[in-house]
Amino acid sequence: MKFIALLTVFVFSVSTVFAQISDAIEEFALPDELNESSGIIFFNNKLLTHNDSGGENKLYELDVNSGLVTRTVTVLNTTNVDWEDLTQDDSYIYIGDFGNYAGDRTDLKIYKISKTDYLNSTNVTAEIISFNYAAQTSFTNNENNTEWDAESLISFNTENLMLFSRNWINGNTKAYLIPKTAGNYGLNPLPSTLNSGGLTSGATYNSESKKLFLIGYTQFLQPFVWESENFTGIDVFSGTNTQTSLSTNFGFEQIEGITGNGNGKYFITSETFSNSGISDYGKLISFSEENTLSINNDVVEELQLFPNPVNTILSIKTNNFQKVEIFNTKGALLHSGNSKTLNMQAFNSGVYFVKITQNNNTSSIKKIIKK
């Protein structure tokens, strides 16, 4: 498991309008053997998943009704260095072994497994698709401070997979196209990027609706779903990109994998975590496509916090105000109230995050500095 430091992942201001998925629910807690579930696909009426870095080189079949693991398949010629995502097409299952949170790996690869082999045996072998990032010139260990990490993989068309960067520096996500044929490839990013506002951790693509779903979480471990559609050709971030928050439904959550069942229902897995006094168990979450991204059309007014940096009194300027909360860089809640004027004298010098909840149930998070 990679250690996720609440609120220390990024040091830049975040101001996000959150929508809500109205029917997102917890299906069940994941079994202990899947406490670090990462990638996920829906195949043969079961969910297939795996654990991430350091886990066994195995795929687990999970029954969506009972929540039990019903079958385990070992991928013999592989090692789980840092398996992060699964995807599939009509004939193959693909495992992304490209987790690279220190930015120093030179053995990035995707394993390609025949579905026929998978269905007929509990021991399979994989073809290997190796790759590197053409623009990466340094492989110095920069743990949790690199743009060369990835946790998301989709089957985009008959010839190509697509993976998405997990950018620890500024949250700017890039898409990379990679052939499905075994080989060794140098990857260059597609033209458009996504300012994800956090760490992306999983993806799935609906080839019929031409919609890409990309999940992740903010520096507050607030889970989100991005939907990308109406894009041009292979440039998946060139169209409309809309973010939906899951934090109203689940609060803090380290979501890791997403897949659809082909009938408009989507599943998300989350990972067990414990950090800074906040902990939660791994779970399976579901939602329906027709209820995604139903953004409240109320006008979200520009709010201001001033002065910033602040020494004594912090003022909030907005007419649509419900509540204010202040968090430190470890995620601890230090203040909650409903006054637009805050006395900051008792706060130590440093960085804080202010969450403003408005009357239309949208929220914004801004960074402030206490002098």
92 and 84 Cβ atoms separated by less than 8 Å: no
| Residue that terminates a domain, selected from 291, 326, 358 | 291
Distance in Å from the first CA to the final CA of the chain: 36
**C-alpha distances out from residue 108 to 84, 102, 105, 203, 216, Å:** 11, 13, 7, 18, 21
From CA 221, how far away is CA 7, in angstroms rounded? 8
- Residue 107, in any domain of the structure: yes
> Which residues fall within 8 angstroms of residue 345, CB to CB, at 6 or more apart?
311, 312
From CA 286, how far away is CA 40, in angstroms rounded? 13
**Domain identity same for 223 and 324:** no
User: What's the whole-model pTM score?
Assistant: 0.79
**Domain identity same for 255 and 189:** yes
**Domain identity same for 266 and 344:** no
**Which amino acid belongs to residue 175?**
A
**Domain identity same for 340 and 279:** no
Dihedral of alpha carbons 122, 45, 211, 158, sign: positive
108 and 148 Cβ atoms separated by less than 8 Å: no
User: What's the domain range around 312?
Assistant: 304-370
96 and 129 Cβ atoms separated by less than 8 Å: no
Beta bridge partners of 197: none
Burial letters for 11-25: b for 16+ Cβ neighbours within 10 Å, e otherwise? eeebeebbbbbeebe
- Residue 199, in any domain of the structure: yes
**Count of structural domains, the chain:** 2
**Domain identity same for 236 and 344:** no
* Residue 90 burial (10 A CB sphere; 0-12, 13-18, 19+): exposed
pLDDT < 70 stretches in the chain: 1-22, 248, 275-278, 290-302, 329-331, 360-363
pLDDT of residue 107: 98
List the CATH number of the domain containing 270. Answer: 2.115.10.20
List the CATH number of the domain containing 333. Answer: 2.60.40
CA 111 distance to own-chain centroid: 21
pLDDT of residue 136: 98
**Domain identity same for 237 and 359:** no
**Domain identity same for 276 and 310:** no
